Amino acid sequence: MDEQRRTAASWFHELRDRIVAAFEALEDRASGDTPAGRFDVTPTERAENGGGGLMSVMRGGRVFEKVGVNWSEVHGTLAPRAQAAMAARGVPGMAEDPRFWASGISLVAHMQNPHAAAVHMNTRMFWTPGAWWFGGGTDLNPCIDYAEDTAHFHDTLRAACAPHGADYYDRFKAWADEYFFIPHRGRARGVGGIFYDDLNSGDWSADFAFTKAVGEAFLPAFLPLAERRMAQPWDEADKDAQLIHRGLYAEYNLVYDRGTKFGLETGHNADAVLMSLPPLAKWV
C-alpha cells in the first residue's frame, strides 16, 4: 500500500499544478492591460501530527474574486471525536487503531462576475490500518442559473463516469443532491454534480482510475462556463443576488461539510481548511 499511497499523492499534486496553470492562463486571457490574477502559494504543516501540503489562493483576479486550490498529504492519529465518527461510519479497524493517512486536492472558486457560477471540486484517498478508500466529487453553484451551463457540466461528468460503472453517474449524482442539500433552508446550495465517499470495490487500480477520471473531467466541465460568462455585463442587482447566494455556501460549509469538520478536527491548517469561504457574502 505504500506504493499506492505515493502514486495517489503524486497524482493529486500533478492535478493541482495543472488546474493552477489553467486558471492563471484564463486570467491572462481576461486581463487586457491590467495585471492578471496570480496564486499565492503557502506551504502548510500540521502542528501535532505529520505531513502538510500547499495552500494556493488567488484573490482579486479579473475572473476569480477568490479561488483556492489546495493539495495535502497528511498522516497521524485521529482525535477521539474524529475516530468515533469514522468508526460510526463502519470503517474497518477504526475503533481499535486510530492511525490514518490521507492525500487529496480541494478546490473552491468564487467568481467576480455574478453570471459565472462558483464551483467546488475535491478528490482524495484515505487509508487506515484496516481499510483504504477514495472519495470526492464536484458541484456547480450558480446564483443566476443557465440551463445550458448546467447541462454542459452534468454531461461532462456523465461521460467521465460511464467507462467506470454503468450506474456511477446516477448513483453519485443522487448522492450529491442529498449531500449538498441545506436542511435548515430546505434547498440545495447549487445545481449539483457528483459526490462519492468510502469507495472501495476491492480493486485499488479501478477505484483510483475512476477518481482520476473525476479529477480530469473538472477543467473540461468548468472552464468553458467560466470563459462564456466572464465578460457578460452585470449590474448591482446581479451582484446582490451573488452575495446572498454566497451566504448559503458559507452556511453549508460551516455547518454541514464533512471535509471542513475533518480538517479542523485533525489539526490541519485552519486557513487552508476554511479557504472555501467566500471573500464577501450577505444575508437578508
List active site positions: 120
Cα separation, 209 vs 233, in Å, equals: 40
Distance CA 10, CA 18 (A): 13
What does the alpha-carbon distance between residue 80 and residue 84 come to, in Å, rounded to a whole number? 6
Which residues are CB-neighbours of 262 under 8 A, at least 6 positions away?
A: 82
For residue 54, report the phi and psi dihedrals to the nearest 5 degrees: -125, 125
Q: 142: how many CB neighbours lie within 10 A of its CB? A: 22
Backbone angles phi, psi at 166, to 5 degrees: -60, -30
CA distance 268 to 100: 14
The three cell numbers locating residue 91: 470503517
Query: Cell triple for residue 68?
Result: 483556492
Give the span between the Cα atoms of 80 and 65, in whole angstroms: 37
